[in-house]
Amino acid sequence: MTYKFLPRTLMITLASAGLALSVPAAAQVDEDAAKLLFKQNECGKCHHPSQNKKGPSLKKTAKEYKGKANAEAEVLKHLTTPKKVKLDDGSEEDHKIVDSKDQKALSNLAKWILSH
């Protein structure tokens, strides 16, 4: 009786369909982890997803980098290199760097910022 094998065949078909649909791992962003890191480092004090505060909104940053091949590397550099930034009131401040040495977490955060 061949019908006995049908469910198994079906399962394999579904499994490979699922694989085909899934996004390549490199493009995936762990949104919760990125948000947590962003919150822990108080980045939200100056950066809002869609509104400009003391710093540019994440949307604005994402737009600026859109289409640039080295976008993630550039943002990563910004997240890890201290530099002076001008606030909207004209004063200068050392830009906060992310308190993490975890490259995966950092690049996830950069990807998340760029996903806005």
Where does this chain bind ligand HEC (CB under 6 A)? Answer: 38, 41-43, 45-47, 54-56, 61, 64, 75, 78-79, 85-87, 93, 95-96, 98, 113
By beta-carbon proximity to ligand HEC, the closer residue of 11 and 87 is: 87
- Shortest Cβ distance from residue 47 to ligand HEC (Å)? 5
CA distance readout (Å), 39 to 35, 42, 47, 88, 112 = 6, 5, 10, 21, 13
By beta-carbon proximity to ligand HEC, the closer residue of 4 and 84 is: 84
Number of continuous H segments (helices) and E segments (strands) in the chain: 5, 2
- Shortest Cβ distance from residue 103 to ligand HEC (Å)? 15
- Shortest Cβ distance from residue 69 to ligand HEC (Å)? 15
By beta-carbon proximity to ligand HEC, the closer residue of 5 and 89 is: 89
Helix axes 71-80, 103-114, angle to 10 degrees: 120
Contact by Cβ (8 Å): 89, 62: no
Contact by Cβ (8 Å): 43, 78: no
By beta-carbon proximity to ligand HEC, the closer residue of 56 and 111 is: 56
Which residues, in sequence order, are bridge partners of residue 92? 86
